Amino acid sequence: MAQLELQGLRRTYAGINAVDGVSLHLAAGSLVALLGPSGCGKSTTLRMIAGLEQPDAGRILVAGQDVTHLPPWSRRMGVVFQSYALFPHMTVEANVGFGLRMQGVGTSERLRRSRAALDLVGLSDHAGKKPRQLSGGQQQRVALARALAIEPTLLLLDEPLSALDAKLRDELRVEMRILQRRLGATAVFVTHDQAEALAMADQVAVMERGRIAQLGTPEDVFERPATAFVATFVGRSARLPGTAHGTTTRCGPGSHGSTLHTATPHHGPVTLFIRPHRIRLLAPGAPALDGFPNVLDGTIASIDYTGATVELVLDTPAGRVPIDLPADDPAWRTLTPGAPARAGWEPSHTMAFPA
C-alpha cells in the first residue's frame, strides 16, 4: 500500500488552477521531489498534503486513510519550512519538543526524545540556545529535528535548502538523504533546483502550470524527458529548432542548414534537444565519424573552466551548442574563442519534441 496517495488534487485561486489534477503514489520509505519553476503549484501541493490549505477537489490518502478533510494538527506530518519557521522565543530544545508537548508527552519522555532528535542532526550541544544564536545551517537542522521528533507519518520538505549557500546546501542535502533513508521516512521534497531533485529523490515529479508534466526516476526525467518543458527544465541542452521528415530534421537557415538524424521518426516543426555531455568536440572539417552522423560546424563562443568539466559553447547556424568536456581531456587547452570547431553526436542521443 502506498504511504501517500494523491488523487486528482485541485486548488483554484481567483479562477486560476494553481494545482490542476495532481495524482501521485508514494511507497513507504521513498522520497519524491516536486520539481518546477515558481508558480507551478509544487508548494501549494505540499501545503495541501500538510493540511495548511484545502483542496477544491481530489483526495489525499496517507497509509490508505483519507486525510483530505483532517486539520493539520491531526495529521502528524513533519514539515520543514523554507524559512525554517523556528519559534524565536523558545530554546532549540523547546522547539524540537513542541510537537511532543502538543501530543501530551510527559516532560521526561519529551526531553529524552527531543534530545534524541537533536542527536540525529548533531546539535545536542546547542539545546539551550535560542534559534537566532545558530547559523543558517544549524537552524535548518533544528527544523529537521523538530519535524522528525513527532515521528511523522510523512516528512514534508518545502525548499528546505534554498536559504543556504551552495557548499552548505550540498552538505546538508547529503545529510538529509542519509537520515531519511536510515529512518525509512516517506518524504515529499519541494524544490526548484533540478540538481537537488535529481540527487535526492527516488521519484521526480516535474510540475508545470499545476500539473505533473512527468513522473519518473531521476534518470527517466533526465535521459527520457516526456515533454519539451521537462527537457528544458531538467538539465542543460542544445536546443535546435527545425523541420522533421521521418528520421531526418533540417535545422538552420536555407543553404547553411544541416541535416540531422534522430533515432525515431517525427514530422513537422520540432525542437531537437541534445545534452552537452553527449556531444563530442570534433576537428573542424573532419569527415563524419561512424556513430556521429550528426555534425554541426561553428565557432567557439565561450570556454568556461568549472573544475571537473570544461563547458564550451559553439555558435552554429542551427543554434547554440553547449559541449561538456572532462577537464582532464587536453583538447580544450588549444581552443580559443572565435576558432572554428565541429560538434558531433549520435542520433540516439537526439531528442525531438514538436515545436
Partner 1 sequence: MTRRTGLLLCLPALAILALAFLWPLGILARMSLNRTEDGRLFPDITGETYVRLAEDAFTWGLTFDSLRLSAVSATGALLLAYPMALFLVRTRSRFRAALALAAIAPLLVSGTARVIGWLAILGDQGLVNAGLAALGLPRQPLINNWTGVQIGLTESVMPYTVLALLAGFGRLDTALEDAAATLGARPLSTFWRITVPLTLPAILGAWILAFVLGMSAFITPKLMGGGRVFVLATEIYDAAVQTLDWPTAAALAMYVLLLLALILAAQSALLKRVGT
Quick one: which segment of 24-32, 94-102, 257-265, 336-344 binds partner 1 (CB under 8 A)? 94-102
Provide the residue count of the chain.
355
Candidates 145, 150, 187, 205: give the one binding partner 1 (CB under 8 A). 150
Contact 270, 261 (CB under 8 A): no
Quick one: which segment of 84-92, 193-201, 228-236, 255-263 binds partner 1 (CB under 8 A)? 84-92
Q: Which is nearer to partner 1, 145 or 212 (CB)?
A: 145
CB of 92 to partner 1, least distance (A): 14
| 102 is an interface residue for partner 1 by CB under 8 A | yes
Quick one: which segment of 48-56, 234-242, 259-267, 312-320 binds partner 1 (CB under 8 A)? 48-56
Q: What's at 23, amino acid-wise? A: S
Candidates 33, 35, 77, 260: give the one binding partner 1 (CB under 8 A). 77
| 163 is an interface residue for partner 1 by CB under 8 A | no
Quick one: which segment of 36-44, 45-53, 207-215, 285-293 binds partner 1 (CB under 8 A)? 45-53
Quick one: which segment of 75-83, 174-182, 227-235, 242-250 binds partner 1 (CB under 8 A)? 75-83
| 50 is an interface residue for partner 1 by CB under 8 A | yes
Q: How many residues bind partner 1 (CB under 8 A)?
A: 28
Closest C-alpha among 39, 40, 59, 57 to residue 49: 59
Candidates 71, 265, 269, 354: give the one binding partner 1 (CB under 8 A). 71
Q: What is the contact mask toward partner 1 in residues 121 to 140, using x (rule: CB under 8 A)?
A: ---------x----------
| 51 is an interface residue for partner 1 by CB under 8 A | yes
Write b or e for each residue in 259-278: b if 16 or more Cβ atoms lie within 10 A of its Cβ, otherwise e. ebbbeeebeeebbbbbbbeb
Quick one: which segment of 35-43, 54-62, 86-94, 239-247 binds partner 1 (CB under 8 A)? 86-94
| 72 is an interface residue for partner 1 by CB under 8 A | yes
Neighbours of 292 (CB within 10 A): 18
User: CA-CA distance, 61 to 7, in Å (whole number)?
Assistant: 8
Candidates 48, 60, 79, 240: give the one binding partner 1 (CB under 8 A). 79
User: CA-CA distance, 225 to 232, in Å (whole number)?
Assistant: 9
DSSP-derived secondary structure for 245-297: EEEEEEESSGGG-EEEEEEEEEEEEEEEEE-GGGPEEE-TTPPPPTT--EEEE
Contact 219, 161 (CB under 8 A): no
| 146 is an interface residue for partner 1 by CB under 8 A | yes
| 295 is an interface residue for partner 1 by CB under 8 A | no
Q: Which three cell numbers stand for residue 297?
A: 560546424
Residue 329's alpha-carbon distances to 123, 270, 291, in angstroms, are 43, 33, 20
CB of 145 to partner 1, least distance (A): 12
User: CA-CA distance, 141 to 84, in Å (whole number)?
Assistant: 9
Taking only Cα atoms into account, the Rg of the chain, rounded to an integer number of angstroms, comes to 24
Binding-site ranges for partner 1 (CB under 8 A): 50-52, 71-79, 81-83, 85-89, 98-99, 102-103, 130, 146, 150, 156
